[in-house]
Amino acid sequence: MSTRCCLYADSLTNDSKLTVPFPSEKLAWIAQRSLSPDPEPRKGGISKHVSVTDSILNVSWMADEARILRVSVSSFLDHLALVLETMEAFGPPSVSGLK
Amino acid sequence: MTIVIGFEGSANKIGVGIVRDGTVLANPRRTYITPAGQGKSNTRGLNDGLYVTSLSLKTAFAAIGFLPSETARHHRSCVLTVLKEALEEAGIQPEDVDCVAYTKGPGMGAPLVTVAIVARTVAQLWGKPLLGVNHCIGHIEMGRLVTGAANPTVLYVSGGNTQVIAYSKHRYRIFGETIDIAVGNCLDRFARVLKISNDPSPGYNIEQLAKRGTRFVELPYTVKGMDVSFSGILSYIEDMAERMVCTGECSPEDLCFSLQEVVFSMLVEITERAMAHCGSQEVLIVGGVGCNVRLQEMMEIMCKERGAKLFATDERFCIDNGAMIAQAGWEMFRSGQTTALEDSWVTQRFRTDEVEVTWRD
C-alpha cells in the first residue's frame, strides 16, 4: 500500500487525528461501522468522529484534557487492531498482510 | 433451518457458540483466571482506578478480582481463536450462518465492546444481520432449551446478578433480586479473604471445601420481602473469619459450609415465594452459581415439598457461554428481530425486564 497510517496530535489543543488506509472503500466502511456505535465512555470532556473518504478511515478527537484523549486514542487503537485482525482472518483475500 | 452464532464476553469468560434449531453445534470458551487473593478484599475504596459507571457493577467487578481492561485484553487475544474453533467444531462455513448475535449487556464495558466489535466486523464481512442480546435472557433461554422447562420460575445467580424471574405478558419480570452485591460476588470475595484459588472458579473451590465443614457458624440472614442482601453477610464474615480461624473456633471449611447454607437458604426462600405468587410448578436455576450442587440439593428439597419440579444445567451451560447468546439470538431472530449497526452499542446496565419477549405467547 502506498499511503501509510498516520497519527497526529496537538499537545496545545488536545486534538488528535488518525488516518488509516484500507485495501478497499468497502473495508474502510466496515471498520467505520464496527468502531462507531459505542459512545465515548466518559460523560463530556471528549468527542470523537470516525469517517471514510475513498478507502481511508479518518478519526478525529477533541478533548478537554490530554489524559482523557490518551485513554480514548489508545483504546481506539486496540479496537482498530482487533478489526484488522478480524478482517485478516475472515475477510476477502485482499486483506491479508493488512497490518 | 436457522443457524445463529453467538458471541459472549461480558465478564471473565469469552465464548462463541453456534446453534442450529435447538441443537448446539459448538460452544468453545476461555476463562480469564487471576491468581488467588488478587485485588482488594476490603469493600472500601474499591473503585480506585476502575472505569465502570454503575455502583453495583463497580463493587461487583472490582471485587471479583478481574479488572475490565485486563479482561478485555484477554478477550482480544483469544476471541478469533475461539471463533475459528467454533466454526471448525460445528463443521460449518460462514455463509451457512443466518445471524450473528452478541451480548449487548449487562456486564463490564471494555470486554463487552471488544466482543461486539468482532461480531460487527464478521457480520459485515459475511453479509449477515446482527443481533444484540441481553445476557440474562441468554441464560434463561439456554436453560429452557437444555432442560425443556416450559414456563419456569427462574433463579438467575452469578457473579454479577441475583434475580428471581418469572415470565408474564411478553416480559421476563423480576420478582426479587439482590439489593446490593450478587451472591456469586459474595462468594468470590469471601474466597479472597481465605486466599482460596480462583481456578477453575472461587465458587467451585468453596463448594469443595464446604463438603468437609462440620460446624455451623451463625451468620446474618438477610431477606427483605422479595429481595435479598449479601453485603452485610460478607462484611460480617470478612471481619470475623481470620480471628475465628486463628483461635481454632472454626475451620475455613466450616465457614465455607456455613456461608453456603445461609446464602442458599435465602435464595430458596425468595424463589419459593415467587412460585407461590405465580402458582408455578417449575424452577429453573441458571447462571454460574447455578452449577453449585448444594444449591441444587436445597432447591430440590423445597420443590419436593411443593410437588414442583427442579431444572438445572451443568457447568457447560450454567456458566457464561456463547451458545446461550446464540440460542436467545435464534429465538429473537426467528421472531423477526435484528439490530442495526448504528444501534449496536453495548451497555453496562441492561435489565432483564427491558426486553420485549417477542418469541413467547
- Most A-contacting residue of B7, B117, B349 (CB-CB within 10 A), to test interface: B117
| Residues of B whose CB is below 8 A from A38 | 113, 116, 345-346
Nearest CA to CA, how far is B115 from chain A (Å)?
10
Residue closest to B320 by CA, chosen among B10, B4, B5, B6? B10
Give residue-wise pLDDT tens across range B128-160.
Answer: 999 999 999 999 999 999 999 999 999 999 999
The confidence score (pLDDT) of residue A14 equals 82
Contacts of B109 in chain A (CB under 8 A): 41
Q: Which of helix, strand or coil describes residue B266?
A: helix
Common-topology check for domains B3-140+318-354 and B151-314: yes
CATH homologous superfamily, domain B151-314: ATPase, nucleotide binding domain (3.30.420.40)
| pLDDT, tens only, B159-181 | 999 999 999 999 999 999 999 99
A-B C-beta contacts closer than 8 Å: 65
Longest dimension (CA), chain A: 42
* B159 in a known ligand binding site: yes
Question: Which chain B residues contact residue A75 at CB under 8 A?
Answer: 110
Query: DSSP 3-state assignment of B311?
Result: strand
Chain B residues near residue A44 by CB distance under 8 angstroms: none
pLDDT confidence of B200, banded at 50, 70, 90? very high
Q: Is B276 on the interface with A (CB under 8 A)?
A: no
Cβ contact B84–A89 (<8 Å): yes
Reported as a single tens digit per residue, the pLDDT across B229-272 is 999 999 999 999 999 999 999 999 999 999 999 999 999 999 99
Q: How long a stretch of residues is chain A? A: 99
* Residue whose C-alpha is closest to residue B187's, from B262, B109, B286: B262
Q: Is B296 on the interface with A (CB under 8 A)?
A: no
DSSP reduced 3-state for B321:
coil
Range B204-232 average pLDDT: 97
Determine the Cα–Cα distance for residues B130 and B5; give it in Å rounded to an integer.
Answer: 10
- Contact check, Cβ <8 Å, B76/A82: yes
Is the Cβ–Cβ distance between B175 and B304 less than 8 Å?
A: no
CA–CA gap between residue B150 and residue B284 (Å, rounded): 10
Using alpha carbons, list the distances in angstroms from residue A49 to A10, A62, A63, B205. Answer: 16, 9, 12, 47
User: Does B64 contact chain A (CB < 8 Å)?
Assistant: no
Confidence of residue B62 (pLDDT cuts 50, 70, 90): very low
> Which DSSP state fits B106?
S
Instruction: Please give the torsion angle defined by the CA atoms of residues B47, B52, B56 and B57, in that order, rounded to the nearest 10 degrees.
Output: -110
Distance CA B197, CA B33 (A): 10
Spell out the residues 6+ positions from residue B305 whose beta carbon is closer than 8 angstroms to its own.
none
Average pLDDT, chain A: 88
Identify the CATH number of the domain defined by range A6-95. 3.30.310.50
Best CA proximity match to B155, nearest among B33, B340, B318: B318
Look-up: residue for cell 472505569?
B51
Predicted confidence at residue A95, as pLDDT, reads 66
Give yes or no for B110 touching A (CB within 8 A): yes
∠ CA(B93), CA(B96), CA(B102), 5° rounding? 90
Q: Which long-range contacts (CB under 8 A, 24 or more apart) does B235-238 make?
A: B235/B43, B237/B190, B237/B193, B238/B41, B238/B42, B238/B43, B238/B189, B238/B190, B238/B193
* B126 contacts A90? CB cut-off 8 A: yes
Closest CA in chain A for residue B76: A82
B78 vs B51: which has the higher pLDDT: B78
B247-286 per-residue burial string, b: 16 or more CB within 10 A, e: under 16? eeebbbbbbbbbbbbbbbebbbbbbbbbbeebebebbbbb
Per-residue confidence band for A3, with pLDDT thresholds at 50, 70 and 90: low
Where are the strands (E) in B53-147, listed by range? 99-105, 130-134
- Name chain B contacts of A82, Cβ cutoff 8 Å: 76, 79, 114, 117-118
Longest dimension (CA), chain B: 65
User: Span B3-140+318-354: which CATH code?
Assistant: 3.30.420.40
- Is the separation of the CB atoms in B128 and B95 below 8 Å? no
Q: How far apart are the CA of B6 and the nearest CA of chain A, in angstroms? A: 16
The CA distance from B45 to B62, in Å, is 10
Is pLDDT above 70 for B204?
yes
What mean pLDDT, rounded, does chain B reach? 92
Question: Could you tell me the residue ranges of all domains in chain B?
Answer: 3-140+318-354, 151-314
Closest C-alpha among B357, B342, B358 to residue B120: B342
Question: Which of A22, A33, A46 is the best mutation test for B, with the most CBs of B within 10 A?
Answer: A33
